[in-house]
Every structure is written in C-alpha cells, then in structure tokens.
C-alpha cells in the first residue's frame, strides 16, 4: 500500500509541475508575442487568463505541504505572494514567467527522471540574480504609480462606520508594501512613512516586517544557491 501511495504521489507531482509549467509558458509566450506585435499596452490583457491559472495553481503548494505530499519553505511562499505604468507590467510578467518556467521544469524533470541536468540546476538557482531585481523594481514601480489612484478613489478600502467596526485603507497599506521592499536601515522606512498622516499607527508594523524585505530575501536565495550548486548531486535528488 505504501509503495502504491508513493507511486501515486510521484505521478501526481509530475503531472502538477508540468501543468503549471505549461501555464507559465503560455504567460511568457503571449506576453512576448503581444509585446512584439501590439505593444506593451496590451500585454496584461493577453496574459490575464493564463496568469490567473498559473498563479492560482501555485497555491496548491501550500496544500501539498499540509498533506505531506511535498515540503514547502515559508520564505519561498513570501516570494510567491509578494512578487505582483504598463511598461512595468510587461517587465514583471516576462521576468516572472521565465522564473517559473525554469522552476517548474526543474521540479517536473526531477520527479519524472529522478534528477535534473546540471544546466537546468544552474538556471534554477542563478537566473534570480537578474530576474528578481527586475521583478521587484517592476512591482515597486507599479505600486508607486498607482498611489494617486488609490488615494483619489479609495478602491478596496473599507470605511467606518460599518457593521464590522473595522476600517482598512488600501492607500496606506501600499506604503507598508513599499516599506517591506525598501532595502537599507529601519530609519529609511520611517522617512518613507512620514508622507502619511497615519505613520505613527503603521510604523511599528513596518519595522516588524522589515526583516522580510528585499535584502533579506535576496541574501536567503544567495544562500540557497550556494548550497545547491556546491552539492549538485544531493539537490538533484532531494526536495527543496
């Protein structure tokens, strides 16, 4: 019975990884095709459906961890969730899709054949050196460009009074996101938040989440790269 369940798990992970790979490949293909033929203004419309599919499928990794199907790193979950002008949309989508194409093809190949080739291992743990800064820069730029719209229209905000006795301001939450991404010392975050009249209320939260910022994540991934490339055989056969 244990052998049967192990084989079933193995087949499921092969299927899952290659399906998600195909979803991200569609995002990349339609993104590049639209950028070349129609311009960056139309990229998001072209990739919206496959992007929603691929990113939604990524959340199954949490369920996999809870069910004991596959191990899952919470730091990687943070990267998945907080990676999000129209030119910036194009750079974000393309860098994001390349990263995930490599990632899921690596896992799919390893599940199917027991190991991944050295060149794919190198890509898995090296392309983030360029693509992660591009993605983060694109996300921060998108948030910054959207701030005037958030403030003027109050979309996704919850105002008082209401039956829940709860309020949420999407505009100020965006500053929290920017503070999380901001590299450097904590006093830089305080300076950023001074543009907000509610800075005193959210400053402590931003300081608490500072360790989740760009520099910490980048350092973490550099450590993972060093570990993986220094012991290639071990990491081709074991789960991350």
Is 48 among the catalytic positions?
A: no
In whole angstroms, give the CA distance from residue 182 to residue 188.
Answer: 8
Q: Above 50 in pLDDT, residue 201? A: no
pLDDT score of 165: 86
Q: For 125-158, how does the pLDDT look when each residue is reduced to its tens digit (9 = 90+)?
A: 999 899 988 888 888 888 888 888 888 888 888 8
Catalytic residue status for 132:
yes
Q: How far apart are CA 107 and CA 81, in angstroms?
A: 20
The answer to whether the peptide bond before residue 94 is cis (omega within 30 degrees of 0) is no
| pLDDT for 189 beyond 80 | no
Q: Which two tokens stand for residue 199?
A: 């800075």
User: For residue 111, how far is the Cα from the chain centroid?
Assistant: 23
Catalytic residue among 61, 100, 111, 139: 139
In tens, the pLDDT along 63-79 reads 777 777 766 555 555 55
Residues 6 or more apart whose CB falls under 8 angstroms from that of 106 comprise: 116, 120, 121, 123, 124
| Catalytic entry in 132, 171, 181, 231 | 132
Among residues 129, 122, 134, which one has the least CA distance to residue 87?
Answer: 134
* Average pLDDT in the chain: 76
Q: Please provide the distance, in angstroms rounded to a whole number, between the alpha carbons at the two ends of the chain.
A: 26
Q: Is it the case that residue 168 has pLDDT exceeding 70?
A: yes
Tokens of 17: 């990884």
Model's pTM, two decimal places? 0.70
Angle of CA points 62, 70, 235, to nearest 5°: 125
The mean pLDDT of 49-61, rounded to a whole number, is 83
């Amino acid at each position: 019975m244990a052998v049967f369940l192990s084989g079933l798990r193995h087949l499921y992970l092969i299927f899952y990884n290659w399906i998600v790979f195909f979803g991200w490949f569609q995002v990349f293909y339609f993104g590049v095709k639209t950028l070349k033929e129609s311009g960056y203004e139309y990229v998001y419309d072209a990739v919206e459906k496959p992007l929603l599919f691929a990113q939604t499928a990524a959340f199954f990794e949490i369920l996999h961890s809870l069910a004991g199907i596959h191990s899952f790193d919470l730091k990687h979950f943070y990267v998945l969730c907080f990676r999000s002008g129209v030119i910036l949309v194009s750079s974000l989508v393309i860098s994001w899709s390349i990263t995930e194409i490599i990632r899921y093809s690596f896992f799919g190949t390893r599940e199917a054949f027991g190991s991944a080739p050295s060149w794919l291992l190198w890509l898995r743990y090296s392309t983030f050196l360029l693509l992660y800064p591009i993605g983060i820069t694109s996300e921060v730029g998108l948030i910054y460009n959207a701030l005037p719209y958030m403030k003027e229209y109050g979309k996704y905000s919850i105002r008082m009074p209401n039956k829940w006795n709860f309020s949420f301001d999407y505009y100020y939450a965006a500053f929290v996101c920017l503070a999380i991404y901001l590299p450097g010392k904590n006093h830089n975050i305080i300076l950023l938040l001074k543009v907000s009249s509610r800075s005193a209320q959210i400053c402590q939260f931003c300081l608490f989440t500072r360790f989740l910022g760009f520099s910490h994540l980048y350092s973490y991934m550099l450590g993972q790269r060093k570990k993986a490339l220094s012991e290639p055989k071990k990491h081709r056969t074991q789960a991350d």
